[in-house]
Amino acid sequence: MANIKDLKKKIKSTKGTLKITSAMKLVSAAKLAKAQAAIQSSRPYASELELTIKTISALVENYSHQYLEENGNDQMEALLIISANKGLCGGYNAQLTKEVRRYLAATEKQVKVFFIGKKVREIIRNEVNEGKFYTFDKVEPTFIEMEDVAQELAGLFTSGEVGSVKVAYNQFNSAISFTPMVKQLLPIALDLKEKQELEEKYPFDFKYEPTPKEILDTLVPETFLTSLYTSLLDGVAAEHGSRMAAMDNAVSNCKDAIKSQTIKMNKLRQAAITTELIEVVSGAESLNS
């Protein structure tokens, strides 16, 4: 059974942990606010841009682009995994790892896996055909740095080395919720049913300035880059939200532990005082008898 001295050490140690977790919670909350604003402003733009590309490409005749069409390679694909560089963020990395493993077990293709972030890579690097591990000047890559990543992945697709490019990441839902998922980036798919629906929705022709080809040649690569960068922003926001929630739970657990240990220490102290009083009273009575 712990004595008072041991309990004091435990309480002091737990209070130190409480300070650390409280500070990490505040830092994550501040970072989350910034990351949440970024993804909430980027996601509508990415969705509308993709819809615009699909609409124009469905209505314009005799237009083709490498990013819109399959290249004939149905054996190999590239998968970029966006995870965290640090732990202490709840199930953020574990759930993404589970989703990646599920996807790899289900696909019949050979998958070359690329990584942004250390944690998932550390877990599955010996299980997969590892490609490049991207590093950046800061922890979170900038838009310009992601342009380089996009160009490299797109080059694998346009050269025919891979038949598709996909990204695995945690989609941000709220400060306490995210969804691990695998999304296709290339080719920018538009199946026959979607094309027919768009043709029925827009039975008239648009006027373009400049030409449809010039517009699409510019916007199609932009759509791919924006979709990739939005996936990164989703992952960053989900990471900060998950870490904030994890640290909030840690703070609560520390407070509960301190309260429990303090009560236990006070009971031991009270028992020691009672024992001493009994001994004093018993000694006094023995002297009087």
Range from 65-69, 157-161, 232-236, 251-255 carrying the lowest mean pLDDT? 65-69
- In the chain, domain spans: 21-245
Length of the chain: 289
Residue type at position 232: L
pLDDT recorded at residue 62: 77
Model pLDDT, residue 2: 66
Q: Domain 21-245, CATH 3.90.105.20 — does that match? A: no
**Residue 203 Cα to chain centre, angstroms:** 41
For 209-222, how does the pLDDT look when each residue is reduced to its tens digit (9 = 90+)?
888 888 888 999 99
- Which one, of 125, 238, 246, lies nearest residue 179 by Cα? 238
Any idea of the CA torsion for 142, 95, 153, 52, to the nearest 10 degrees? -80
CA count, 13 A, side-chain hemisphere, 242? 27
Section 1-11 average pLDDT: 84
Query: β-strands 165-174, 177-186: how paired?
Result: antiparallel
Q: Between the ranges 209-213, 258-262, 275-279, where is the mean pLDDT highest?
A: 258-262
**In the predicted model, what is the mean pLDDT of residues 248-259?**
95
pLDDT number for residue 197:
76
Task: Place 163 in a pLDDT band, splitting at 50, 70 and 90.
Answer: very high
pLDDT at 204: 65
What would the pLDDT profile of 27-52 be if each residue is shown by its tens digit? 999 999 999 999 999 999 999 998 88
Q: What are the b/e assignments for 86-115, b being 16+ CB within 10 Å?
A: eeebbebbebbbebbeebbeeeeeebbbbb
Q: Mean pLDDT over residues 253-282, rounded?
A: 89
What token pair was written down for 31? 């970072």
- Residue among 256, 175, 247 at smallest CA distance from 22: 247
Amino acid at 184: Q
Q: Is the pLDDT of residue 1 over 60?
A: no
pLDDT-derived band at 202 (thresholds 50, 70, 90) equals confident
First to last CA, the chain: 37
pLDDT in tens, 79-136: 999 999 999 999 999 999 999 999 999 999 999 999 999 999 999 999 999 999 999 9
Measured distance CA(242)–CA(225) in Å, rounded = 26
pLDDT tens by residue, 60-86: 777 788 998 888 898 999 999 999 999
144 neighbors 57 (Cβ within 8 angstroms): no
* 261 pLDDT higher than 60: yes
